Chains A and B, each alone.
Chain A
Amino acid sequence: MSDNHEETHEHMGIPKYIGIFLALVFGTILTYFTALTDLDTMLFAGANTLLALIIAFTKMTLVILFFMHVWWNGTLIKLTAVASFFWLAIMFAFVMQDYLTRGFGVFNK
């Protein structure tokens, strides 16, 4: 039976786990300190937000791929992971397409 699982654990040894862990810690510290720096004026408006999100996405990808073993999973699981975020993106995009294209009919109360 054990041949079923070979693929999963032969790829991840303890050093690799620790490596990913350190990358995550680094990301956390990086995001903390860059958030206190005003990149918006240094670079462009929204730079802070963008950077924070990029770091968060990277961290998430690491966790999904290695801690959750998706790297070694079949296409179905990969598809599921991608699709659910895609669906979320649909929700964001289609809600915001309304708000981003509205006139401002709100009154000054």
Chain B
Amino acid sequence: MATHTNDHYHPPGLQHQFENMKQQEESVSIGMWMFLAQEIMFFGGMFTVYLLYRWKFPMAFAAGSNHLDAFLGGLNTLVLIVSSLTMALTVYYAQKGNRMMQVVMIVLTMIFGTVFLGVKAVEYTEKYNKGLIPFANWNHKTPKGEERKVATSLIETKVSAAENKDAEHTAEHEYKSSTGVFEWKDLSLPQMAEKEGFLTEWEKVGYYSDGKLNEQKFESKVRIFFWIYFCMTGLHGLHMIVGLGLMLWLLWKAWLGSYTAEYYSPVEMAGLYWHFVDIVWIFLFPLLYLLGRHFMHGGH
């Protein structure tokens, strides 16, 4: 092929430091994987924090989990999986050199990515309205008398419908904050765990004061859960936004027809990134939304 001749023939997209396309593609793909390895360790720090605190305070985490919207979380997981499929197909059509389908698939990927962020925004808003944002004064100050409206918002109904049980449980706690400060008054989970005797040593130290479960101490642990939730999903959301930026650029290039069956490695690399972000969510979903749910919904 043209690559070993000396007349400096340049295949489209070949950069000066490389001898041929194969070398370039290999380099770019190893580079991308190294980048992903780096990303894994980056998120890994957060996962270590999660691991430690969940191991220390499972009940606080279960309590926090139960006030995330598992239905929306699950929905978002599906949305991301679909976007991963369309992303994979983008690469597939790029390999086939099909410009039209590439563009379509990129647009679809972007749409699903945006939907994901939209749902996330709905979830964040809900936390804002319910006073579950652990940062002081970043919560909605619910005026007295309006609590009902917030507590029975659309999302709340949907969750209880989806779970189809414990309807009265949802109604029981109205999360609102008239001060804008993160509050947590619900001790039912640790109380149950106390009764059944499966509080861990750390929890006994971490929740108790003068030998009794202490609302404030428990609240501080739930607060940690929400911080971890916001840090992890926030970081993930940031990666989604970067991914969407990449997609936009890809869309432009694909539209111009830059990618052919010979040269499509930018598509492939963007795909790797997108799938990686999907994988992070595949873990975040069960870890944040699901673990500990059975305490509430099983027959304890």
Contact = CB atoms under 8 A, between A and B. Distances in A.
Whether A and B are associated in the same complex: the answer reads: yes
Interface string A1-37: 1101100110010100110110011001101100111
A52 B87 contact: no
B294 A56 contact: no
Nearest to A17: B88
A36 B202 contact: no
Range for the number of chain B residues in contact with chain A = 35 or more
Interface in A67-109: 67-69, 73, 76-77, 80-81, 83-85, 87-88, 91-92, 95-96, 99, 104, 106-109
Contacts of A81: 33, 36
B95 A5 contact: yes
Chain A interface, >50% SS class? helix
Contacts of A48: 291-292, 294
Contacts of B272: 68
B21 A1 contact: yes
Contact of A88 (B44, B70, B298): B44
A40 B299 CA distance: 11
- The winner among B82, B88, B283 for most chain A CB atoms within 10 A is B88
Nearest to B40: A84
Nearest to A106: B205
Contacts of B51: 92, 95-96
A69 to B, nearest CB: 8
B190 interface: no
B286 A17 contact: no
B298 A41 contact: yes
B290 interface: yes
Contact of A104 (B21, B82, B201, B276): B201
A60 B286 contact: no
A5 B261 contact: yes
B286 A56 contact: yes
B286 A52 contact: yes
Interface in B237-274: 261-262, 268, 271-272
B183 interface: no
B293 interface: yes
A99 B88 CA distance: 41
A30 B48 CA distance: 26
Contact of B48 (A53, A55, A64, A91): A91
Contacts of B78: 25, 28
B278 interface: yes
A60 B41 CA distance: 16
A36 B82 contact: no
The 9 closest A-B pairs by CB, nearest first: A38-B298, A35-B290, A84-B37, A52-B286, A38-B294, A9-B95, A88-B44, A21-B85, A84-B40
A37 B294 contact: yes
